[in-house]
Amino acid sequence: MKGPMPNPPQQALPPLSPAETRSSRADRLPPGGRWAPRLYPWRYALLAGYLLLLGGVYCVFSIEDFLTISVPWQFLAAASVLFYGLQAAFLTGAPHWRWPRPTGRRPMWVSLVVGGLAVSLLTLGLAGTLVSLFHADQAVGNIVETFNSGIGARPGDFPWAFAVFMAVVWAGWLLFFAMVWASKPLSAFRPVYRLVLAGSVLELLITVPVDVQVRKRTTCYCGEGTFLGLVIGITLAAWAFGPGLVLLFLARRLERRRELQVCIGCGYDLRRLPGNRCPECGRPFEPFGAPRTV
């Protein structure tokens, strides 16, 4: 009885040229950021803190005596579905899922659309803060009234002025994303995510001192623009933190694969290979022990 036939010896592919090595360096390395390696040991603690934060929010809205208004559970359930659904939709274009294959156009555009919506909300919150800062409430009210009278809308109807403002801002951000990042499927997701995260933090830094001054001149600040800016900034900061945790765990998984000296594309064992291409899928890889660049 014949035994299994031995595998034929694998021939190493020719090494990369210096120009190809420089141009494809970012394509061969797992997606990550400058701060990701420093956050790897804290990822489970960050996850626990995020879950405690979300649990605390649900507890606050569940205590009827804590709030001056009652929040129906149907509204809370719908808000939760929207919150987590937009997080999942935003993550569809992350390169971590298909690495090292390029991100598809459809998932990338889903992320750009959701990211554009998040940045549009930040723009709305910033506009509200500026209205409170410059005491432009009356001027904005006159503009809204003129717009409503022009389209024949009456008080109590659908807020068409708000809808048109959001649609224009959203379309503007999508156009900006399409012109700057849509042609770069491997690197489009990271700047959009950074813009959302940094924008939410920056909005809070701008709104908080303005809100302190607003509260000194009024006893009811719920209708002020700074209140809207605070709500949007805090909500989007918490919203962006969730995808960041998912990306942190995915980046660590890909980095772990590289530490095990296997191909990040197909999982082939790359130890003791003479070249710097995977003989299974032909994917180039960084020589092990070389310094990692970001």
Give the pLDDT band of residue 27 (cuts 50, 70, 90). very low
**Mean pLDDT value across residues 115-136:** 93
pLDDT given for residue 186 in this prediction: 59
Instruction: Provide the 3-class DSSP secondary structure of residue 167.
Output: helix
pLDDT given for residue 25 in this prediction: 44
* Residue with tokens 């379309």, as numbered in its chain: 171
In the chain, alpha helices (H): 18-23, 25-28, 36-39, 43-62, 73-91, 105-133, 137-151, 160-180, 189-217, 225-259
pLDDT given for residue 224 in this prediction: 85
10 Å CB burial of residue 43 (0-12, 13-18, 19+) is middle
Give the predicted TM-score (pTM) of the model: 0.78
pLDDT given for residue 22 in this prediction: 41
Instruction: Note the pLDDT tens digit of each residue in 210-263.
Output: 988 888 877 777 778 899 999 999 999 999 999 999 999 988 888 776 665 667
Give φ, ψ of 273 to 5 degrees.
-95, 140
Q: Per this entry, what is the length of the chain?
A: 294
Q: Report in angstroms the alpha-carbon separations of 231 from 64, 124, 225.
A: 20, 11, 10
Residue partners of 215: CB distance under 8 A and separation at least 6: 221
pLDDT over threshold 80, residue 277: no
Phi-psi region at 293: left, alpha or beta (left = phi > 0; alpha = psi -120 to 50): beta
Q: What is the mean pLDDT of the chain?
A: 80
pLDDT given for residue 17 in this prediction: 47
In 103-188, alpha helices (H): 105-133, 137-151, 160-180
pLDDT over threshold 60, residue 11: no
Q: What percent of the chain shows pLDDT beyond 70? A: 76
Q: Report in angstroms the alpha-carbon separations of 104 from 21, 90, 188, 282.
A: 24, 14, 11, 21
Tokens of 181: 């990042």
**Mean pLDDT value across residues 199-206:** 94
The whole-angstrom separation of Cα 153 and Cα 86 is 31
More confident of the two residues 279 and 211: 211
The whole-angstrom separation of Cα 42 and Cα 44 is 6
Contact status, residue 94 vs residue 247, Cβ threshold 8 Å: yes
